Amino acid sequence: MQRERQRAAWWMLLSVSLASTMVASERSPAEAIRGVWQVDKKSMMQDSPEYKKASAEQKKQMELALFLAPDVTLEIRADSITFTAVGDPPEAKSYTVKSVKGAVVTVKTTDKEMSVEEMKFELVTPKLLRVLNGDDTLFLMATRSE
């Protein structure tokens, strides 16, 4: 009897999980990237070619610099992107979607000085965002804030 209840509970949990996945997948990637993201400084550093090539002493120095670097959040709205580093004023840019290919959203950003830049947002998982410069080099990695 208890085993049947556990099985029923498991199936219910599975169906709820599948339903939420289907609802999430109905959103376009351009909509799915919207939200507040916390920049993952440690992952960015560890994934960088410079860190991978660094000596043990250089890695220690990079880790200390990372510890001293301010936390950064990224907020993506329907038409704007705001970078906020602790202690600094927010930096806002407007954007337009240039293209969507799979999970990669390419945007054209414009800041208040009218400087134009291309960026790519790749939703790796619903909670992990990779941001690339126009030349496909890693700009930052971020996790979705709850």
Residue-range domain boundaries for the chain: 1-28, 33-40+71-144
pLDDT digits (tens, 9 = 90+) for 16-57: 443 444 344 568 999 999 999 999 998 888 888 889 999 999
| Mean of the per-residue pLDDT values of the chain | 83
Cα torsion 7, 9, 12, 14: sign: negative
State pTM to two decimals. Answer: 0.72
Phi and psi, residue 21, nearest 5°: -65, -40
pLDDT digits (tens, 9 = 90+) for 131-142: 998 888 888 899
